[in-house]
């Protein structure tokens, strides 16, 4: 029957064992890890019940010591180095070029958009890509069974049905406006935030559409925020992104969560407003939607619409990148063709 003296004896042997070569390393592993320590573990069954706890703890300490010693010497001895044909390294040879990948054009575009708005006080907010009905639809003034819900072709994960049960629907978010709702629920005005992220819609993939794409949406809520504030903010962004000579125009539009709403066009920076195939010979290209936050949306987030007003806007990152880089096929962004990706450096 083994005793604590036996454990201490093996401990002393393991401490005194010299490891300087790989052969000695293997011998230590064979003798102690696989041999004597394993045999001591087998002896636990024969130890008196009142001594098993002490005996087992001593063996565990021995095992940990042996494993630590083995790992330490494995790291120091390492693998044998391969020698070159001449036995030496020729330091006069030219270095092998280390080619790094390029930044994806969507990342470049996103970073540039964020940079422009951060300079005027916007911060970045992020939220989940899998959303409930409240944050994705209802809080944004999409009533149940309202035709406006049909504007979004949604990927539902859990669809509960009709009526009030719709509040329990779970889906992939169709826009990053859901992040704005989360910000307004958890932060008191003034709020000035930007929400970039990936969104999902059940659409056929083509040169102009995709089921997965990226958006940047902005929100500003404070006292006395006006339509003029929104116009000047978006005018500043357009000049920074497309050039100082860029002009904008706002066309009336409709979104459930803003009133009044507008589409934003900029003068075509390819032809300078004269007309080309990019702007369909109109001299203008659409870049985003915007509007004043509907009072119902503020009330849904427990923000007093009598005291606060705000504006919101949203744009597709792919659309901005396609305009900026004159890309004519949306699918190029996700096909991972290095010939396409290596064309991009900085925005």
Q: What is the mean pLDDT of residues 317-326?
A: 89
Where is mean pLDDT largest: 31-45, 196-210, 244-258, 328-342?
Answer: 244-258
Note the pLDDT of residue 2: 66
Write the DSSP symbol of residue 45: G
* Minimum mean pLDDT range among 77-81, 135-139, 282-286, 325-329: 77-81
**177 pLDDT above the threshold of 90:** yes
* Minimum mean pLDDT range among 24-38, 182-196, 216-230: 24-38
Q: What percent of the chain has pLDDT over 70?
A: 90
Tens of pLDDT, residues 32-59:
777 877 777 777 777 777 777 787 788 7
Q: 166: pLDDT confidence band, cut at 50, 70 and 90?
A: low
> Considering Cα of 205, then 208, then 214, then 217, what sign does the dihedral take?
negative
Classify residue 76 by burial, with Cβ atoms within 10 Å: 0-12, 13-18, 19+.
exposed
CATH fold for domain 105-341? BirA Bifunctional Protein; domain 2 (3.30.930)
Q: How many CB atoms lie within 10 A of CB 75?
A: 8
Note the pLDDT of residue 346: 55
Residues near 251 by beta carbon (within 8 Å), at least 6 away in sequence = 262, 263, 265
Q: What is the mean pLDDT of residues 119-130?
A: 94
Residues near 333 by beta carbon (within 8 Å), at least 6 away in sequence = 104, 105, 106, 210, 318, 321, 327
**Cis before residue 260, ω within 30 degrees of 0?**
yes
Q: In what order do the strands lie in the sheet with 284-293?
A: 123-124, 191-200, 212-222, 309-316, 284-293, 258-267, 248-255
Question: Is residue 125 within 8 Å of 192, Cβ to Cβ?
Answer: no
**79 pLDDT above the threshold of 70:** no
Where is mean pLDDT largest: 6-10, 139-143, 263-267, 342-346?
Answer: 263-267
Q: How many CB atoms lie within 10 A of CB 242?
A: 20
Q: What is the mean pLDDT of residues 85-113?
A: 80
Q: 126: pLDDT confidence band, cut at 50, 70 and 90?
A: very high
- The dihedrals phi and psi of 227, each to the nearest 5 degrees, come to -60, -35
Q: What is the mean pLDDT of residues 145-169?
A: 68
- The pTM is what? 0.67
For the chain, the structural domain boundaries read 4-77, 105-341
Question: Is residue 317 within 8 Å of 110, Cβ to Cβ?
Answer: yes
Measured CA to CA, the distance from residue 315 to residue 318 in angstroms comes to 9
pLDDT averaged over every residue in the chain: 85
Q: 151: pLDDT confidence band, cut at 50, 70 and 90?
A: low
**Cis before residue 310, ω within 30 degrees of 0?**
no
Q: How many CB atoms lie within 10 A of CB 234?
A: 22
Measured CA to CA, the distance from residue 265 to residue 272 in angstroms comes to 13
Q: What is the mean pLDDT of residues 140-160?
A: 75
Tokens, residue 172: 């992939």
Q: 1: pLDDT confidence band, cut at 50, 70 and 90?
A: low
CB burial readout 156-187, b (16+ within 10 A) else e: eeeeeeeeeebeebebbbbbbbbbbbbbbeee
Tens of pLDDT, residues 275-296:
777 778 888 999 999 999 999 9
- The dihedrals phi and psi of 274, each to the nearest 5 degrees, come to -80, -25
Tokens, residue 176: 């990053």
Note the pLDDT of residue 301: 95
Note the pLDDT of residue 236: 96
Residues in the chain, total: 347
Note the pLDDT of residue 158: 78
Note the pLDDT of residue 308: 97
């Amino acid at each position: 029957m083994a005793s604590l003296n036996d454990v201490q004896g093996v401990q002393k042997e393991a401490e005194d064992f010299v490891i300087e070569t790989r052969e000695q390393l293997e011998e230590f592993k064979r003798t102690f890890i696989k041999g004597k320590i394993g045999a001591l573990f087998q002896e636990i069954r024969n130890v008196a019940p009142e001594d098993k706890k002490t005996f087992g703890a001593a063996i565990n300490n021995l095992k940990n010591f042996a494993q630590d010693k083995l790992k330490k010497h494995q790291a120091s001895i390492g693998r044998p180095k391969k020698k070159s044909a001449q036995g030496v390294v020729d330091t006069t040879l030219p270095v092998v070029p280390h080619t790094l990948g390029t930044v994806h054009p969507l990342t470049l575009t996103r970073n540039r958009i964020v940079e422009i708005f951060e300079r005027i006080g916007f911060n970045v907010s992020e939220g989940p890509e899998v959303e409930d009905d409240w944050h994705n639809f209802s809080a944004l003034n999409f009533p149940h069974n309202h035709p406006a819900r049909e504007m979004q072709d949604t990927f539902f994960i859990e669809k509960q049905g009709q009526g009030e049960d719709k509040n329990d629907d779970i889906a992939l978010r169709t826009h990053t406006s859901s992040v704005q709702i989360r910000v307004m629920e958890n932060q008191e005005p003034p709020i000035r935030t930007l929400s970039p992220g990936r969104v999902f819609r059940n659409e056929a993939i083509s040169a102009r559409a995709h089921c997965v794409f990226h958006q940047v949406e902005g929100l500003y809520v404070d006292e006395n925020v006006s339509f003029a504030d929104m116009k000047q903010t978006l005018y500043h962004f357009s000049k920074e992104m497309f050039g100082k000579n860029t002009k904008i125009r706002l066309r009336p539009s409709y979104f459930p969560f803003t009133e009044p709403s507008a589409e934003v066009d900029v003068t075509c920076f390819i032809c300078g407003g004269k007309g080309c195939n990019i702007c369909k010979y109109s001299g203008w290209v659409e870049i985003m939607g915007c509007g004043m936050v509907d009072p119902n949306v503020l009330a849904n987030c427990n923000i007093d619409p009598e005291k606060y007003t705000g504006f919101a806007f949203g744009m597709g990152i792919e659309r901005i990148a396609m305009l900026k880089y004159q890309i004519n096929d949306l699918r190029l962004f996700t096909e991972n063709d290095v010939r396409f990706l290596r064309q991009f450096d900085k925005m």
